[in-house]
Amino acid sequence: MQKFSQSELQKAFESYHVVRTRGDWEALADFFTENATFHDAHWGEIRGKEAIRKFLHDSMVGLEEWEFPTVWFTFYENHVIVYFLNRLPDKRPDGSLYETPGVTILTYAGNDLFSRQEDIINMVEFMKLVEEAGVSPPLDRY
């Protein structure tokens, strides 16, 4: 496996992160290689840039008011590890947020592109959260 400089990895991630932060989910596919894989905690493996684009669109419809803030990230060799929150739009009666953590691991492939993304979310805790909040994410749509 080719080793890339941290500055190159950081530059690619910064571009990816700008698009992710603004919630332009379909445009995130532009940061993947043609044969990339995306591993989702609920739907499993999606292969190929255009399949990833379709998945990102279809799986995020109905979640426009949700937020996915990044708490922290770090670089390790050719990888970026991102700790983020799945934050629902409403608050509990006590004012606390409906949110649960997740982790994304990105594998860098060079040329400002990633070859793999793996999202890790405790789906049991996530489902408890959405039940408590009284919302229905599109878990059966994709």
> Quick one: which H or E segment has residue 45?
strand 44-47
pLDDT band at 141 (very low <50, low <70, confident <90, very high): low
pTM over 0.75? The answer is yes
Unique residue bearing structure tokens 């080793």: 3
Query: Which structural domains are found in the chain, ordered by start?
Result: 6-133 (3.10.450.50)
Position 61 scores a pLDDT of: 84
Could you tell me the pLDDT band of residue 134, with boundaries at 50, 70 and 90? confident
- Sign for the CA dihedral angle at 91, 58, 84, 101 comes to positive
- The reported pLDDT for the residue numbered 1 is 75
Per-residue pLDDT, 20: 96
Task: Show Cβ contacts of residue 104 under 8 Å, excluding neighbours closer than 6 positions.
Answer: 80, 81, 82, 84, 117, 118, 119, 120
pLDDT at 138: 63
